[in-house]
Homo-oligomer: A and B are copies of this chain.
Amino acid sequence: MNAPGVPETRELSYAQAIREAMDIALAEDERVVLMGEDIGVYGGAFQVTGDLVEKYGTERVIDTPISELGGAGVAVGAALTGLRPIFEFQFSDFATLAMEQIVNQAAKLRFMLGGAVSVPVVMRFPAGSGTGAAAQHSQSLEAWLGHVPGLKVVQPSTPEDAKGLLLAALDDPDPVMIFEHKLLYKSKGRVPAGRYATPIGKAAIRREGRDMTIVATSIMVLKALEVAKTLEAEGIDAEVIDLRSIRPIDRNTVLASVRRTGRLICVYEGVKTLGIGAEISAMVAESDAFDFLESPIVRLGGAEAPIPYNPELEKAVVPQIPDILDAARRMANGQV
């Protein structure tokens, strides 16, 4: 039993937390439908939808043909006319087939029509490397969508946020894109029961610190927290910010932190060039926080290469704990 007012929490995996959010939404709101490839009886390629089809039927948990452009477009059209679709791309890489509908239609319809409509579609993108699926199944393309006005783009790193951001996305009248790291699906954490929403556009300070700010996204948040723990033992006090939302970006939280610490490392899995860390760095470099910077801003992003198959190579092209640790130590020692 919980104390009154304190919400009950349970230990859930990230995938379970997402499923719970969908379950709540399906139960509460007849307009909610799930769409995607093999999300029905198969339960989704990563078992995120699980057995929801048994509870809600094939009319609400809809297996689409392998037609990403058309499927996403159907979700857009349905959102425009009264449904609340949650569309799953089986791997975020396949969204490259659907950019037209996401970017030209979902993102722009409201604006192009002078505000006459809105497109409350939610799309989910299992992303990232680490599963040995090679270059066409391992990309992190969230920066693309972060570049597109009209969309909102989030990257939950914890089960609690995975649930809360999905429910927030469903409440949102505009299209919300959720990038989920495949390696996080099995990660566990405390998740409040029932309905709650994690605000879109707010970063979370996962660890306070005075010596440097590490802004991380998605799975890199977990790595950064590990690093911060090690650094603590070395007398270095790192603040770790989980960006959570990459469109809009929580400018205030990041800038306030940098003003306090004077040092910034950005850690992200997407390709370094033009990745999310580029924006964070540029945002700080053009702000009044610039004057507080005591050293160059370091970015640790993915290598300038597709993701290789061999597991050792695969690890080598995305930032790992030792890379972050090394960068943080060098920064603390004024070696950047």
Given A100-B97, A108-B136: A278 and B282 interface contact (C-beta under 8 Å): yes
**Are A290 and B282 in contact, with the CB atoms below 8 A?**
no
**Are A273 and B279 in contact, with the CB atoms below 8 A?**
yes
Q: How many copies does the complex hold?
A: 2
**Are A297 and B306 in contact, with the CB atoms below 8 A?**
no
Complex CA distance for A209 and B143, rounded to whole angstroms: 34
* Cβ contacts under 8 Å, A279 to chain B: 273-274, 278, 282
Q: Determine how close the nearest CB of chain B comes to the CB of A125; give it in whole angstroms.
A: 14
**Are B273 and A306 in contact, with the CB atoms below 8 A?**
no
Mark interface residues in A123-139 (1 if CB within 8 Å of B CB, else 0).
00000000000111001
> Does any Cβ of B come within 8 Å of A281's Cβ?
yes
Can you pick out 21 interface pairs between chain A and chain B where the beta carbons lie within 8 Å of each other?
A93-B104, A96-B103, A96-B104, A97-B100, A104-B135, A107-B306, A108-B136, A111-B305, A111-B306, A143-B274, A146-B273, A146-B274, A147-B271, A147-B273, A147-B275, A150-B306, A282-B299, A284-B285, A286-B299, A290-B296, A291-B296
| Best-surrounded residue of A100, A249, A291 (most CB of chain B within 10 A) | A100
**Are A108 and B135 in contact, with the CB atoms below 8 A?**
yes
* Cβ contacts under 8 Å, A146 to chain B: 273-274
Among A87-113, those with CB < 8 Å from B are: 93-94, 96-97, 99-100, 102-104, 107-108, 111-112
Mark interface residues in A198-222 (1 if CB within 8 Å of B CB, else 0).
0000000000000000000000000
* Cβ contacts under 8 Å, A93 to chain B: 104
**Are B149 and A136 in contact, with the CB atoms below 8 A?**
no
